[in-house]
């Protein structure tokens, strides 16, 4: 509990110090935090994988000439289905975020290391200097064989049709016997009423 109070007090002091430096007339600077996420629960060969990039500007000024480039999906291992792996963004205002989504399709199964994307931007509008950063790294992911995935997760439509066909005799034969005996006894009951 004591450590928690100390860390909260330190966080409060740092945030107050940052607030006073930005109010004192210093030039405003952009600071981008970049997240790269794989949105699929299962990674399957020949199936789409959604990759989401989120760029947060936590600085006090706008980020300009933002360039996002991801070389983590080589063309020999992935097909680009939708989106771009190299994106240019003119401006990201302070305190805002921008998302970009790319859809790729793996060509083969196995383990793959999803690496970070590279970002460059101007932290100060008037400065020609670029700031470089990298995104978060999703890490290694296993891409499952399509046949194995279908075996485990498909609806097994043909299996259900075969099951229904195999169950039909066990349901239809007793039902037809029931109908036959029912009509027989109804005819006997009608004859007794008429006599």
User: pLDDT tens digit string along 125-169?
Assistant: 888 889 999 999 888 888 988 888 888 877 778 888 889 999 999
Q: Is the dihedral of CA 156, 44, 38, 92 positive or negative?
A: negative
Domain 27-153 has CATH 3.40.50.720: no
125: left (phi over 0), alpha (psi -120 to 50) or beta: alpha
Q: Which residue has the higher pLDDT, 24 or 160?
A: 160
pTM above 0.75, yes or no: no
């Amino acid at each position: 509990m004591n450590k928690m109070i100390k860390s909260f007090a330190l966080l409060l002091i740092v945030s107050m110090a940052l607030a006073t430096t930005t109010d004192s007339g210093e030039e405003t600077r952009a600071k981008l935090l970049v997240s790269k996420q794989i949105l699929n629960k299962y990674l399957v060969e020949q199936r789409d994988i959604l990759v989401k990039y989120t760029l947060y500007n936590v600085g006090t000024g706008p980020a300009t000439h933002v360039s996002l480039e991801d070389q983590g999906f080589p063309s020999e291992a992935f097909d680009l289905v939708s989106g771009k792996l190299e994106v240019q963004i003119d401006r990201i205002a302070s305190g805002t975020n921008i998302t970009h989504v790319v859809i790729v399709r793996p060509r083969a199964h196995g383990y793959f290391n999803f690496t970070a994307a590279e970002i460059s931007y101007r932290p100060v509008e008037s400065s020609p200097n670029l700031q470089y950063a990298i995104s978060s790294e999703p890490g290694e992911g296993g891409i499952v064989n399509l046949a194995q995935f279908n075996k485990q997760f498909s609806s097994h439509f043909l299996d259900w049709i075969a099951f229904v066909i195999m169950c039909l005799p066990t349901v239809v034969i007793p039902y037809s016997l029931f109908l036959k005996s029912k009509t027989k006894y109804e005819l006997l009951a009608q004859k007794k009423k008429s006599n």
